[in-house]
Amino acid sequence: MAKTTAKAPTPIEPELPRGRTAPLDDAAADELFREGVALFNASRFWHAHESWETLWRAAPQEQRDFYQGLIQIAAGLLHLQRRNARGARNKLAEGLAKLRPYEPAHRGIFLSELIGRSELILGALEQGQLPYLVPPVIRFTEARVVGFDFDR
């Protein structure tokens, strides 16, 4: 008779809701967030959206609206770049509604400035104008210099 060995039970991972991913570690999340801000500030709205979408999928429930708001603002500005007034208007309005509860600042960025500039663009769109895009810039609440030794 052949002897069989029992396998150790595999741990059961909690099932994530559809479209969600496992949480990211703090360093990876911070890197993705800052990458998204840099892309947004370079008017690369699609790419910023992609960085933030990864965060949104992994974020805890209480942070999801924040990331979704950033994604929607980026999408609205992308629509404006492409001269799609309806898409810009819809996404900016949705993004503003998601971000307002996090004012004046959240996750180390000044939201009031981003919201104020986005409201101006949305106001022009709602008046039937198709404004030229002078994109808002996301500013950090604290300067952070990476890779510089101040003690030298």
Give the residue from 67, 62, 13, 21 showing the smallest Cα distance to 40.
67
Give the residue from 13, 75, 14 showing the smallest Cα distance to 48.
75
Give the predicted TM-score (pTM) of the model.
0.82
Whether omega before 101 lies within 30 degrees of 0, making that bond cis, reads no
Domains of the chain: 26-126 (1.10.3450.10)
- Residue range 86-138, pLDDT digits in tens: 999 999 999 999 999 999 999 999 999 999 999 999 999 999 998 887 889 99
